């Protein structure tokens, strides 16, 4: 799969051979619950990914403001979108004075399907670092940086709401 966007290509490469549990397929732990959950939601595509999956068999794109990719519950790991490669984490954009940096968090949207999130399992450090470095690459691309900022704002609102509801 050729990826034209350099930042996206670098992110894919960083996350090609690592998983939350190192090199082990974490889907074996939960029988690939994140791939087979009947939520009907799918995974958000990052900017530049829609074109990669438009002609790839086994995937359906739900078009909208942010395209959503649905799969049949199984795919070649080399053909996974970025959201699957970083799952259950997200490279959150945070302001540090005038500078932006990446802070890796458990994506609050993943807690319903990922057993690793429920107990806040200790994930492989190489995976977490790869997600952080991928976020830095993505932040260098203007279109992807805008997506990361907007999604980060949304996730921070979810986290704040979750905190309020648990009081």
Residue 120 has a pLDDT of 65
- pLDDT score of 7: 92
Note the pLDDT tens digit of each residue in 100-127: 999 999 999 887 777 777 766 678 899 9
Contact yes or no for 120/106 (Cβ under 8 A) = yes
User: Helix, strand, coil % (nearest 5) of the chain?
Assistant: 45, 20, 35
**What is the per-residue pLDDT for 45?**
93
Q: Give the whole-angstrom CA distance, residue 102 versus residue 74.
A: 30
Other CB atoms within 10 Å distance of the CB of residue 147: 19
Q: What is the pLDDT of residue 135?
A: 97
Give the pLDDT score at 114. 74
The low-confidence residues of the chain, meaning pLDDT below 50, are none
Contact between 149 and 16 (Cβ < 8 Å): no
What is the value of pTM for the model shown? 0.87
């Amino acid at each position: 799969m050729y990826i034209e966007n350099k930042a996206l290509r670098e992110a894919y490469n960083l996350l090609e051979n690592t998983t939350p549990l190192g090199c082990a397929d974490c889907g074996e732990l939960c029988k690939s619950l994140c791939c087979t959950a009947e939520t009907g939601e799918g995974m958000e595509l990052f900017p530049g990914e829609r074109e990669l999956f438009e002609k790839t068999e086994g995937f359906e794109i739900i078009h909208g403001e942010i395209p959503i990719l649905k799969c049949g519950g199984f795919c070649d790991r080399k053909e996974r979108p970025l959201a699957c490669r970083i799952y259950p984490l997200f490279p959150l954009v945070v302001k540090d004075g005038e500078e932006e940096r990446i802070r890796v968090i458990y994506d609050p949207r993943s807690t319903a399907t990922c057993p690793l999130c429920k107990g806040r399992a200790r994930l492989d450090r190489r995976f977490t670092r790869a997600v952080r470095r991928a976020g830095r690459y993505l932040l260098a691309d203007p279109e992807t940086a805008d997506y990361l900022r907007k999604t980060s704002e949304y996730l921070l609102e979810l986290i704040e709401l979750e905190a309020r509801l648990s009081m």
